[in-house]
Amino acid sequence: MTIKCHKGIDLLHDPLLNKGTAFTKKERKAFGLEGLLPPRVVLLEEQVARVYENLRRKSSNLGKYIELRMLQDRNEVLFYALVQKYLEEMIPIIYTPTVGEAVQLHSHIYRFARGLYISPENVRQMKEMAKNLPTGDIELIVVTDNQGILGIGDQGIGGMGIPIGKLSLYTLGAGIHPSRCLPISLDVGTDNETLLKDPFYLGIKQKRITGKKYAAFIDTFVRNIQKLYPKALVQWEDLSKQNAFYNLEHYRDTLLSFNDDIQGTGAVAAAGLLNACKIKKERFQDQIFCIYGAGAGGIGVATQILNSLIDEGVPHKEALRKIFVLDSKGLLMEGAPLEDYKKPFAKSLPGREGGAPYQVGDVVKKMKVTALLGLSGKAGAFTRDIAEAMLCNTSRPVIFPLSNPTANAEANPNDLMQWTNGAAIVATGSPFEGFGQGNNVFIFPGVGLGALAAGAKKITDAMFTAAARRLSELVSKGELDRGSIYPPMKNLRSVCVEVAMAVSGKSKKEIVKRMWEPKYTAL
């Protein structure tokens, strides 16, 4: 690993090397820091305590987010030591749900440069741009085109907050050194009229490029990444559903890459379902699944349920018969005009009276659904009537309102418990106190770490099936008895190690050897 070294004030402005008041007297003399810092040398633990004390004075989560981002841009080791110590408290601040608000206000709260902003105007200069980065040893890239951010849609270059947040989780969970991580925002314009009219908006003020122009731009970007960082893993993040599926399929055989919205979401949902079946004391293959939402997340979940059923020995056609997927128009039906990625889950059923499409409640009742998952972004879509219908189908209905952010959840989990007399097994996409969160952070860092440790040439669907199954095994019997279907967030590091082992076949010793800890080292 090569990091550019500095002296004096430049060293204090390098977040990868800055220790602040923790520089020893010897280091202060050697690097021209004498007089630039208060005289007392302070250990990392005391720095963490001081920063945490200041952070608690912030009255809003957005204020805490801004404070933490400023800390990250000032001192990476201190940032990660703090977040790691208070992991369960900090993850909802540095990522969902707070990151959604930060993304929307990106141009108004912008403080410090991080990563690369690549547009059609500069994509051919990526080699020169890369030379200006702090390090050239990049092994992990998270890239977004900003069009499908969480449940809030097109956010222009504000989407940069997503790659920055995801890479922070890679470092926290998988121990990827922050100097090896590169966030990228692809600025291909925005169709968000609010941003186009905003005088403070920092992106290109033009409508999004689409079609052949977009495809050519992505192709140039990918070819440059392959030349600059031939061994790096690329995670596609928060693209529109059409571009998400196209980019994943088009480049998965030639670029070490995956899409977390599709594959990570699918794997974490499948792990939750496997554990819900343990609580129910029923077989996974005996469930009937309904997924409301046929975008990247919804089809990703449907695909992973299909793969998990097949992995348990269920024939492909029989597995498909157990999965029902609905988009905004209703149940996916054969013969209807559907995007290619939806077609595998289309059904051939007798039409409803009057020709109206089947909606969620219809499918739940008619198909005797036992597991209902929401990835629609439509708040309140899972009503009392639907929950009560689920209870008629099974004594322990499984209901996962997985849409982000919190305001977009298909139901409040407390309502679901009330409507089912406490019988429902519930997990959410956003954090709700007292309920397990189907957080992709339990999957993607471990998959990335495992792929890098194994020197993989391709990320396969089988890796995500293995990750889902291993994640489900990491919840103890006692936790299952208490209704928990995911491990506690405090176990994130050990979860990522186990997932990495499952997808790579590498030993724990080999995996842990790669992992970075947020500790100061002598310069």
Catalytic center residues:
95, 166
> In three state form, how does the secondary structure of 157-183 look?
HHHHHHHHHHHHHHHHHHCCCHHHEEE
What do you get for the CA distance between the two ends of the chain, in Å?
14
Answer positive or negative: Cα dihedral of 19, 25, 29, 32.
positive
According to DSSP, the residues that pair with 331 across neighbouring strands are: 326
Query: Whole-angstrom Cα distance, residue 101 to residue 301?
Result: 26
Burial of 448: CB neighbours in 10 Å, binned 0-12, 13-18, 19+ = buried
User: How far apart, in whole angstroms, are the C-alpha atoms of residue 514 and residue 139?
Assistant: 12
77, exposed or middle or buried, with CB in 10 Å at 0-12, 13-18, 19+?
buried
Of 303, 267, 273, which Cα lies nearest the Cα of 468? 267
**DSSP at 147:** S
Which residue is it, tokens 């219809």?
362
Order of strands across the sheet with 371-374?
330-331, 323-327, 289-292, 371-374, 398-401, 425-428, 436-437
25 is written with which tokens?
A: 């007297």
What order of strands is seen across the sheet that includes strand 257-259? 116-118, 181-186, 140-144, 233-236, 257-259
One-letter amino acid for residue 469 of the chain: R
- The CA distance from 99 to 93, in Å, is 7
Task: For tokens 């968000």, name the residue.
Answer: 192
Q: Which two tokens stand for residue 122?
A: 């500069």
3-state helix, strand, coil in the chain (%, to 5): 50, 10, 40
Beta pairing partners, 183: 142
- Find the helix packing angle between 61-74 and 44-55, rounded to 10°: 150
Rounded Cα distance between 416 and 397, Å, is: 10
Greatest Cα-to-Cα distance within the chain, rounded to the nearest angstrom: 84
Rg value, the chain, Cα: 23
The DSSP call for residue 238 is S
Which residues on neighbouring strands pair with residue 371, listed in sequence order?
A: 289, 398
Question: What values do phi and psi take at 398, rounded to 5?
Answer: -100, 120
